[in-house]
Amino acid sequence: MPAVCHSSGKCLLLLLSCNIVLTAGRRDEVDPREQAQVLRQQLLLQPTRADVYSNLGVALASLQEPDAASAAYRWAIRLEPAHAVAYNNLAALIGRNAEALSLYLTAYRINPASYMDFPQMHLNVAGLLVDASRYNEALLRYEAALGYEALHDDTLTRLTHLSQRVCDWPSTAQFWTALRVLLRRDCNRRPRLRRRPALSPMHALTLPVSAQELLQLAAAHATALNAQARGTGMTLPRVFPVTVPVLRVGFISADFRRHPVSILLAPALQLLRRHARRLQLALFALNQRDRSGWQEMLRSAAHQWHDLSGSSDALAAAEINAARVHVLIDLNGLYSRGSRPVLLAAQPSPLQAVHLGYGATTGADFIDFVIADRLVLPAAHGAVRYYTEKALLLPPSHLPSGHALLYPHMLQSAPEPCCGAASTVDGRSPEQAAARGAQCRSSGREEFGLSSRPPAAAWPPFVFAFFGQHLKIDSDVFASWMAVLLASPTSVLWLLKWPDSSERLEQAAAAHGVHHSRLVFSDRLPQGKHLCAVRLADLALDSPLYSSGATGIDALWSGVPLLAMAGALGSASCSIGASGTRRCYGTIFQRNALSLCTAAAQQYTGADSWPDYHQLAVAAARRTHTARALRGRAEAARTWAPLFDTRKWIAGFESGVRTAWELVATGSGVMHVHVAAV
């Protein structure tokens, strides 16, 4: 919640929805309309008073008049350029963008002492620094706020997550020790909890929590969400009509834009619209229209498109309910960024499921199904007992892949498939795409700094690659990769550049005895063109901490074999890493790569343990015939492997959701659904 300050110097937390101002532990009822009238009268007599304009801005903001409030704050700044309060309040009003960050920093330069008195202002700035990918600066702000008891839980959670993002693993371990105490406290008081725990289940996926702890944490969040929906009178009745000739399936997401969820799903939904005659698709967008090619693809696939980005939770739930959707699928999984879980808690649809956005149980009784497959959530191993949802298992993988439709040119033979047909998804016209293809030049390893030889190497390097965020790496995963590099002296590890973490990875490599030059960092490339780079790798490495989804499909469609570390499920899925951390590999997000490799007919690249993972990686790097065999199989399988047959996925999806609906509508109840291979 942003800090809002009165010109007296007193900072307040303003709850705009109920017109109550909280200050120093006491509540003062305020009539902002009357306050605004008094302040306007005062300005008639004293039109040059900057503090009056600033206070008027506070009153107008509480009246939900942002334009008028903004004008008042800007007049205050114009009259008094050193008015720190007005800068802070204007930033809080604007929200999360570059201008707001600049205003907050200006307020700090003018009056840094105010940040000592009101630590919420540190969180305001830190959140914007994170949005700007200035992570090291954000860490300093969060640390400054950590000493304030009122903000301790939230700040500690943010510090833990951010230290993971920048690969500051010693700090992560330190913060996690304290955070785990809070986690156990929140889980133990769940029946009485009406406030969501500070730790998000999404962030917990990369922390060393057990499946039971993750379930308890999610259930604590769900309890609070249920209470919030009931407290606002949003809960809607669930009606199951028995006869449904056309099943209406809704998808709700904040990621209908250039995002992995859309990249995976858009081609599949387009095929669903064309071929699934007994299915209608309704898409509910929580993000604003961005006019990207991805959102336009999704719009063309939908029978109904609803923009909920500007609607309140109550209005949005009512709009979903009015659309008479039979099955609603939350692609944010309740807990990923941009989600609005209270909408699902209101139960606007008779049957509700989650897919893609969050890879574990939601812990919510208002979510009926989790969409998965037999490898990421195998019922025979008992993993489902840690899920409150029933499993809807699709073949061949729960992850849809439309790469064969989006990037068919990748199947062209050498010398340069990327100079063939170019994708128009990102907004190019066919003519522009053709012109780009004519101007295309061959992408080689030199362009990405991959042609240099490692120290003491006698020939060009074998290229291991990891194209995920560094957040998905921990000290144990990185140690295993460094052991592979040490055992294969002619190899390098190719990674993407991410803010404030690359230098730490180089330092960590040196600590393992690996020269920093053997870590090669590249900038991220536009969608489509990135496949031309991916294919230059020899072997893609998966991190079981947070397994590959879209990036794994990218590698496989580029003809690059993917090395996955699955691990057994159940108690055997937990192991002690090099740092002494007990890590469990049992969530959907930790087994995606195994699902992809199997569906791509490359199940032999799935390791059952870290020793197997190490042995496979080193064998590929040191034995030319092994590397060639892996590459040949990966390239050949693209033309026939089930993963790349999008029609198989849509047939399984249609069968699965219809079966789930019919079971419930005919009185059998919510049951596990295992769709047979098509």
Secondary element (H or E) of residue 51: helix 50-62
How confident is the model at residue 441, as a pLDDT? Answer: 46
Establish if 85 belongs to a structural domain. yes
Same domain, 225 and 370: no
Q: Which residue did the predictor score with more confidence, 569 or 585?
A: 585
Q: Looking at this protein, which amino acid is placed at residue 171?
A: S
Q: Of 95-104, 167-176, 436-445, which has the strongest mean pLDDT?
A: 167-176
Do 172 and 95 share a structural domain? Answer: no
Q: How confident is the model at residue 186 (pLDDT cuts 50, 70, 90)?
A: confident
Does the pLDDT value for residue 573 go beyond 50?
no
Note the pLDDT of residue 277. 85
564 and 659 share one domain: no
Whether the CB-CB separation of 586 and 432 falls below 8 Å is answered with no
pTM across the whole model: 0.86
Look-up: residue for tokens 């923009």? 307
Helices and strands, number each (H, E), in the chain: 26, 20
d(CA 450, CA 454): 10
560 within 8 A of 538, measured Cβ to Cβ: yes
Could you report the per-residue pLDDT of 338-352, keeping only the tens digit for each?
999 999 999 999 999
* pLDDT tens, residue by residue, 511-544: 999 999 999 999 988 877 788 889 999 999 999 8
CB 301 within 8 Å of CB 396: no
Of the two residues 454 and 615, the one the predictor is more confident about is: 615
User: What pLDDT, on the 0 to 100 scale, is given for residue 303?
Assistant: 95
Same domain, 535 and 621: yes
Looking at residue 446, its pLDDT comes to 81
What pLDDT does 167 receive?
Answer: 96
Q: SS3 for 275?
A: helix
* Measured CA angle at 521 (ends 418, 519), to 5 deg: 120
137 located within any domain: no
Dihedrals phi, psi of 285, to nearest 5 degrees: -90, 125
Please report the pLDDT score of residue 525 as a whole number. Answer: 82
90 with 177, same domain: the answer is no
CATH number for the domain harbouring residue 18? 1.25.40.10
Shared domain check, 275 and 200 = no
Can you name the residues that pair with 28 across neighbouring β-strands? Answer: 21
Percent of the chain having pLDDT more than 90? 57
Q: pLDDT tier at 449 (50, 70, 90 boundaries)?
A: confident
- 453 pLDDT above the threshold of 70: no
pLDDT tens digits, one per residue of 120-143: 778 888 888 998 899 999 998 888
The answer on pLDDT for 494 being more than 90 is yes
**Phi and psi angles of residue 29, each rounded to the nearest 5 degrees, phi first:** -70, 130
**At 283, which helix (H) or strand (E)?**
strand 279-285
For residue 266, what pLDDT is reported? 95
Determine the pLDDT at residue 112: 84
Angle between helices 84-94 and 98-110 (to 10 degrees): 160
* Structural domain boundaries enclosing 204: 151-233
Write down the pLDDT at residue 151: 67
Of 105, 116, 103, the closest CA to residue 9 belongs to: 116
Give 189-226 pLDDT, tens digit per residue.
655 556 888 899 999 999 988 888 899 999 999 999 99
Shared domain for 205 and 287, answered yes or no, is no
Beta strands in 486-549 (DSSP E): 491-496, 519-522, 539-541
In a domain, residue 224? The reply is: yes
Question: What tens digit of pLDDT does each residue of 432-443 get?
Answer: 444 444 444 456
For residue 147, the model assigns a pLDDT of: 75
Task: Report the pLDDT value the prediction gives residue 457, as an integer from 0 to 100.
Answer: 58
Mind listing the pLDDT tens digit for each residue in 299-356? 999 999 999 998 989 999 999 999 999 999 999 999 999 999 999 999 999 999 999 9
d(CA 584, CA 598): 21
498, 134 Cβ separation under 8 angstroms: no
242 assigned to some structural domain: no
Q: What's the confidence (pLDDT) of residue 357? A: 93
Contact 398, 589 (CB under 8 A): no
Residue 204 lies in a domain: yes
Same domain as 485, residue 623 = yes
| 82 and 190 within one domain | no
Nearest to 196 by CA among 316, 339, 14: 339
Write the pLDDT tens digit of every residue in 586-628.
688 889 999 999 999 998 898 988 999 999 999 999 999 999 9
Please provide the DSSP assignment of 586-598 as one string. -SGGGTHHHHHHH
Mean pLDDT estimate for the chain: 84
- Are residues 489 and 386 part of one domain? no
Query: Of 172, 204, 233, which residue constitutes the final position of a domain?
Result: 233
Q: Beta strand pairing status for 247-253 and 327-330?
A: parallel
Q: 39-78: per-residue pLDDT in tens? A: 999 999 999 999 999 999 999 998 889 999 999 999 999 9
Same domain, 258 and 285: yes
In the chain, how many domains are there?
4
The full DSSP string for 392-409 is EEPSS-SS---HHHH-GG
218 and 284 co-located in one domain:
no
Q: What is the pLDDT, as a whole number, of residue 381?
A: 66
